[in-house]
């Protein structure tokens, strides 16, 4: 009888503690849902078209889409953009990619390379963030970057650029090399 009485006392003491520690908040299901991907695409390619013209080509070794948030994450990304004449305007690649479509912020990480055919320019860095709302392209303040424009190679740290007025700046350690500009831009 003592054993049963002791078990009942333990149950009475621990049951309220157990109930307090349990959560019945089902509103948290949305947050838990976004912790794991809803879709995972492997060796995938996407094309975005406008009026029947391919405007963006995008490929990835792996691409994850999450439920409840408008975000994507990818591995080994390559992309190209095209103008109305179907001429390639930009090529880019990176090893890791993050897209926050709600805030229109796109981040490229690890071995980032972007080539603009229109501006005859190339950017190489390890970390690059594009904010489509403000039309700014930036690295972190301590990331080195190499920019090549028409035979001029500029190295520096802390890159930022404006897509509105096509200006850029580097914060520190800026060096440059001017090569023979009579040669065509390397594709």
The string of pLDDT tens digits covering residues 120-153 is 889 999 999 998 888 888 988 888 999 898 888 9
Instruction: Please report which helix (H) or strand (E) contains residue 70, including its range.
Output: none
Q: Beta partners for 35?
A: none
pLDDT at 174 over 90: no
Residue 180 pLDDT class (50, 70, 90 cuts): low
Domain range annotation of the chain: 29-178
- Mean pLDDT value across the chain: 78
- CATH 2.60.40.10 corresponds to the domain 29-178: no
E strand residue ranges, the chain: 37-50, 53-66, 71-82, 88-100, 105-116, 121-131, 136-138, 144-149, 152-162, 167-178
The C-alpha atoms of residue 65 and residue 59 are separated, in whole angstroms, by: 14
Backbone angles phi, psi at 8, to 5 degrees: -65, -40
Average pLDDT over residues 103-119: 91
């Amino acid at each position: 009888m003592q054993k049963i009485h002791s078990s009942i006392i333990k149950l009475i003491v621990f049951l309220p503690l157990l109930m307090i520690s349990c959560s019945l908040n089902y509103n948290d299901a949305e947050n838990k849902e976004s912790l794991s991907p809803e879709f995972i695409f492997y060796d995938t390619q996407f094309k975005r078209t406008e009026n029947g013209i391919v405007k963006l080509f995008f490929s990835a070794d792996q691409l994850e889409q999450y439920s409840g948030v408008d975000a994507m994450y990818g591995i080994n990304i390559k992309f190209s953009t095209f103008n109305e004449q179907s001429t390639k305007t930009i090529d880019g690649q990176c090893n890791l990619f993050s897209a926050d479509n709600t805030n229109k912020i796109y981040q490229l990480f690890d071995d980032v390379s972007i080539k603009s055919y229109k501006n005859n320019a190339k950017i190489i860095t390890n970390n690059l963030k594009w904010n489509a709302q403000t039309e700014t392209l930036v690295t972190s303040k301590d990331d080195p970057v190499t920019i090549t424009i028409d035979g001029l190679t500029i190295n520096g740290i802390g890159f930022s650029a404006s897509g509105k007025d096509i200006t850029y700046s580097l914060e520190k350690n800026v060096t440059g090399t001017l090569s023979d500009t009579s040669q065509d831009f390397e594709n």
